[in-house]
Chain A
């Protein structure tokens, strides 16, 4: 059974007729063609590679049906940079060597940005707990934690100045 939806991703409205059982992650990857969002588990919400922002909150796009997102807005990893200007967390991931294979990276960026935006007093423990929904198989987490903390600290510092 098909239904039509309009979902706004990174500022662009995608109007499509889709099977009602289509997962949001498949909509993002195959209808909108935005392949930066990844799939690492059998749609069980266990790996976090598919994390995106739905109406500004980090969610796992494999646990949501596309129809549930009709009329709502989504940000994916492709929407983080402003043109050629990378988001500070993208730069921090590069500088801290927070990715190896990079398969987990888009999910961790989306979770990381969410943490930074919602908690102005992040510390290592909070970040480690904040990213428990995202598995990284390669990097061993510490560099990811450092990257997130460096941006969070720069923010706090900016606010203080």
Chain B
């Protein structure tokens, strides 16, 4: 086994970012204030769909402390609407035009209609009540299937229907080839001895972060806009702000605060409100601040999932999968969301549907509808939560049909040769699904569980085991990313050493709690042989960092850390040149070791100089350097992935369902993950622990509920219930059956994004397993005790009567 550098790669190093936060010295968005700042509050639509007949702001304008009241009509000629090139991207579907405030009509309950700017937030809130809006209600389009019917009223009146996007995932096949492909899938399904046909429904839920959104903008005529913003993607915000305000990029600076209270995709989009805040700062020539309320957040941001899958999955007599058909429908809400437009997630989800399995013939069709709801938003897992639920449940049902253990069916069908390509065109570069899966199976002892299950059933107790898996492709190549998002995926870092040997690493993402200050420091520590405490990480400021796509899709471990390693390796070359030159010798990089704060010549350990002394030598004592070298010790590196990083998770859930209450108790939950080379096990396990609990919370508790008029009924944390400590189990996490990733210099794989996706399948399979004696299959989410109790009750009565 490789020896651990103190605090280097593989060390369970407690996080560096914790200490200020624990002292109450975190620097979150809400902690930033600028002298003279004004406060914005938004008046939001009480209707899901209505024409705005008139808005009377005169009474509000008169109130004490009110500086301005702004409506959509007032800004529509002052700033450009979205989409703009930075957030239109290469995405193939439609992009509805929208301004930060509703123009002409409102399209969802909670859409901003007017904004009050006042001296204090309290006064701004008072003034909202003095704005009078006359609405003419329009028919609410709220059901995705009805919305896709040609007879449906339209959400966007300049469109001829409500379909924002559709795809058949034909990859590089020509139309004829694809027709033949579909024909073959059809034939195989028709001839297969085992077929499961089932509709699966995942509800509208997401990962709302504990810290709501916010924006604070300052205008000055020389430097333009400076905007602090809660965002995972500061550089994208900068580009879009420049576009809508018609400013050169050089006049827009966006800063994501050092500490951000969670993101999970919710802070990855270009939203209406910060665009307006920046406009107002310029318009009023005063600092303007918006601090979102939880209610606004639950109404307007962070709604995800929401899909219907009609699946047909077929296997041959030997239990090999032969074909898959899935008609997917998704409710995108109004689709007015810069970046993903409500359909990038289902698009990616459809492409990834075949998961870890050999499925040469797939007929996958996706239709995405716009409705009168808040736009669908990225949520951890980016589009794969619903597809994984549907396919993993279908596989479980198929195994029952065939009469084998589900684990056996999965194992028989895993992709085993890499690189692999799915029928949807998606490529997998590396991994060992079987190895990671076998580790899980070994941990759970299925035969022993079956014995206990039988015994429990004889006592009237319903216990079950569910297994599921998930492949996540994170840190993809530039071309794929450019096509899907409009921007490249590469990671850039700038590394700078001061004359005491302290290293600063700057990069342009907007982390939200991933521990990147610590993992970056560990990679630097490993490469340069210094103490990770001597590393500072800067992020989030577009003025001091170069373009970066953002803290999204597991890019931290898969893209940023490899870039850090590359920068260190290049920097070492210069240090070695100086050491060799000073010693009047000729030596290659590999002849020196960097460890414990020293650079040592392997051929003679008497030639040894401290890192700090050398830093001073090069930064300050910058004379007599090797020919061609200059003073200063800094290095930039860019890492581009040639292929996407693949990580793989296998989950097992054990549950007991109470026939008295319909409550599901998770008695054990185990994961086996391929997270590649693990930089910090504490952090990797933390990501998985948190990700699985979020999945459990989505599965049982969270749901955005709209009433028949399209009013969103779940805009408080009382009604939008998130799992509490007493609701959830402890997750057992194993990552010892991982494999180094050959597509980057560190062997890392980004586990944070994908670890949530197997959860709904594992839980759905476990509950269905427990309730198989009653003939109950879990096909719809969320799973709640009331309805489940009812289903069990009916089944038990039927049983008694029979």
Given contacts A21-B122, A140-B693, contact A102 B23 (CB under 8 A): no
**B586 CB–A CB distance under 8 Å:** no
Bound Cα distance from A122 to B14, whole angstroms: 25
With both chains docked as a complex, state the minimum distance between the C-beta of A110 and any C-beta of chain B, in angstroms.
10
Question: Is B716's CB under 8 angstroms from A42's CB?
Answer: yes
**B451 CB–A CB distance under 8 Å:** no
Binds A, one of B67-75, B349-357, B683-691: B683-691
* Contact residues, B663-688 vs A (CB, 8 A): 682-683, 685-687
Bound Cα distance from A103 to B21, whole angstroms: 8
Question: Is B514's CB under 8 angstroms from A40's CB?
Answer: no
Question: Is B211's CB under 8 angstroms from A100's CB?
Answer: no
Given contacts A36-B25, A38-B211, A102-B259, contact A93 B18 (CB under 8 A): yes
Question: Is A137's CB under 8 angstroms from B210's CB?
Answer: yes
Bound Cα distance from A142 to B696, whole angstroms: 14
* Residue of chain A at shortest CB distance from B692: A140
Question: Is B14's CB under 8 angstroms from A136's CB?
Answer: no
Write out, one digit per residue, whether chain A residues 114-138 have a CB within 8 A of any chain B CB (1) or not (0).
Answer: 0000000000010111011011111
Contact of A132 among B293, B515, B724 (CB under 8 A): B724
**A97 CB–B CB distance under 8 Å:** yes
* Contact residues, B698-728 vs A (CB, 8 A): 716-718, 722, 724-726, 728
Question: Is A143's CB under 8 angstroms from B689's CB?
Answer: yes
**B512 CB–A CB distance under 8 Å:** yes
Binds A, one of B26-34, B150-158, B176-184, B460-468: B26-34
Bound Cα distance from A22 to B28, whole angstroms: 22
Max count, chain B CB within 10 A of own CB: residue among A19, A29, A46: A46
Contact of B24 among A78, A103, A132, A144 (CB under 8 A): A78
**A113 CB–B CB distance under 8 Å:** no
With both chains docked as a complex, state the minimum distance between the C-beta of B586 and any C-beta of chain A, in angstroms.
46
Given contacts A36-B24, A99-B22, A138-B690, contact A46 B210 (CB under 8 A): no
**A106 CB–B CB distance under 8 Å:** yes
Bound Cα distance from A94 to B682, whole angstroms: 11
* Residue of chain B at shortest CB distance from A86: B22
- Chain A residues near B716 (CB-CB < 8 A): 41-42, 44, 46
* Contact residues, A40-57 vs B (CB, 8 A): 40-42, 44, 46-47, 49
**B616 CB–A CB distance under 8 Å:** no
Question: Is B725's CB under 8 angstroms from A137's CB?
Answer: no
With both chains docked as a complex, state the minimum distance between the C-beta of A157 and any C-beta of chain B, in angstroms.
22
Question: Is A137's CB under 8 angstroms from B295's CB?
Answer: no
Question: Interface of chain B, helix or strand or loop or mixed?
Answer: loop
* Residue of chain B at shortest CB distance from A10: B24
- Chain B residues near A95 (CB-CB < 8 A): 14
Given contacts A90-B22, A137-B262, contact A97 B722 (CB under 8 A): no
**A37 CB–B CB distance under 8 Å:** yes
With both chains docked as a complex, state the minimum distance between the C-beta of B460 and any C-beta of chain A, in angstroms.
25
With both chains docked as a complex, state the minimum distance between the C-beta of B790 and any C-beta of chain A, in angstroms.
27
**A13 CB–B CB distance under 8 Å:** no
Bound Cα distance from A40 to B262, whole angstroms: 11
**A141 CB–B CB distance under 8 Å:** yes
Write out, one digit per residue, whether chain B residues 116-159 have a CB within 8 A of any chain A CB (1) or not (0).
Answer: 00000010000000000000000000000000000000000000
- Chain A residues near B55 (CB-CB < 8 A): none
Question: Is B294's CB under 8 angstroms from A94's CB?
Answer: no
Question: Is B14's CB under 8 angstroms from A102's CB?
Answer: no
Given contacts A76-B24, A101-B211, A105-B22, contact A38 B686 (CB under 8 A): no
* Residue of chain A at shortest CB distance from B261: A103
Bound Cα distance from A40 to B693, whole angstroms: 19
* Residue of chain A at shortest CB distance from B14: A94
With both chains docked as a complex, state the minimum distance between the C-beta of A132 and any C-beta of chain B, in angstroms.
5
Bound Cα distance from A34 to B730, whole angstroms: 34
Interface residue range, chain A: 35 or more
Bound Cα distance from A140 to B729, whole angstroms: 9
Bound Cα distance from A141 to B724, whole angstroms: 8
Question: Is B122's CB under 8 angstroms from A19's CB?
Answer: yes
- Chain B residues near A134 (CB-CB < 8 A): 725
Question: Is A101's CB under 8 angstroms from B260's CB?
Answer: yes
- Chain A residues near B489 (CB-CB < 8 A): none
**B694 CB–A CB distance under 8 Å:** yes
- Chain A residues near B80 (CB-CB < 8 A): none
Question: Is A93's CB under 8 angstroms from B22's CB?
Answer: yes
Question: Is B261's CB under 8 angstroms from A77's CB?
Answer: no
Bound Cα distance from A46 to B295, whole angstroms: 12
Bound Cα distance from A95 to B19, whole angstroms: 11
Bound Cα distance from A26 to B87, whole angstroms: 36
**B498 CB–A CB distance under 8 Å:** no
With both chains docked as a complex, state the minimum distance between the C-beta of A22 and any C-beta of chain B, in angstroms.
8
* Contact residues, B432-468 vs A (CB, 8 A): none
Question: Is B722's CB under 8 angstroms from A135's CB?
Answer: yes
* Residue of chain A at shortest CB distance from B31: A35
Question: Is A81's CB under 8 angstroms from B23's CB?
Answer: yes
- Chain B residues near A22 (CB-CB < 8 A): 122
Given contacts A93-B18, A97-B686, A102-B513, contact A78 B211 (CB under 8 A): no
* Contact residues, A68-104 vs B (CB, 8 A): 76-78, 80-81, 86, 90, 93-95, 97, 99-104
- Chain B residues near A65 (CB-CB < 8 A): none
**B212 CB–A CB distance under 8 Å:** yes
* Residue of chain B at shortest CB distance from A129: B726
Question: Is B24's CB under 8 angstroms from A34's CB?
Answer: yes
Contact of A141 among B122, B260, B293, B728 (CB under 8 A): B728
Bound Cα distance from A150 to B207, whole angstroms: 30
**B209 CB–A CB distance under 8 Å:** yes
* Contact residues, B9-62 vs A (CB, 8 A): 14-15, 17-19, 21-26, 28, 30-31
- Chain A residues near B15 (CB-CB < 8 A): 94, 97, 99
With both chains docked as a complex, state the minimum distance between the C-beta of B262 and any C-beta of chain A, in angstroms.
4
**B612 CB–A CB distance under 8 Å:** no
- Chain A residues near B430 (CB-CB < 8 A): none
Max count, chain A CB within 10 A of own CB: residue among B22, B683, B716, B724: B22
Bound Cα distance from A46 to B210, whole angstroms: 11
* Contact residues, A6-23 vs B (CB, 8 A): 19, 21-22
With both chains docked as a complex, state the minimum distance between the C-beta of B31 and any C-beta of chain A, in angstroms.
4
**B482 CB–A CB distance under 8 Å:** no
Max count, chain B CB within 10 A of own CB: residue among A37, A97, A125: A97
Question: Is A103's CB under 8 angstroms from B724's CB?
Answer: no
Bound Cα distance from A129 to B727, whole angstroms: 9
Question: Is A46's CB under 8 angstroms from B717's CB?
Answer: yes
**B208 CB–A CB distance under 8 Å:** yes
**A39 CB–B CB distance under 8 Å:** yes
The 9 closest A-B pairs by CB, nearest first: A36-B24, A101-B513, A103-B261, A140-B693, A102-B21, A46-B717, A77-B24, A100-B513, A35-B31
Apart from A81-B23, A86-B19, A86-B23, what are 7 other A-B pairs with CB-CB below 8 Å? A40-B717, A77-B22, A99-B21, A100-B690, A101-B261, A132-B724, A137-B208
Q: Report B's interface with A, CB cutoff 8 A.
A: 14-15, 17-19, 21-26, 28, 30-31, 122, 207-212, 259-264, 293-295, 512-515, 682-683, 685-687, 689-694, 716-718, 722, 724-726, 728, 730-731
21 A-B residue pairs with Cβ-Cβ distance under 8 Å, sorted by A, are A19-B122, A21-B122, A29-B30, A35-B26, A38-B28, A38-B30, A44-B294, A47-B294, A49-B210, A94-B18, A97-B15, A97-B685, A99-B21, A102-B22, A103-B261, A106-B21, A132-B725, A134-B725, A135-B717, A135-B724, A138-B690
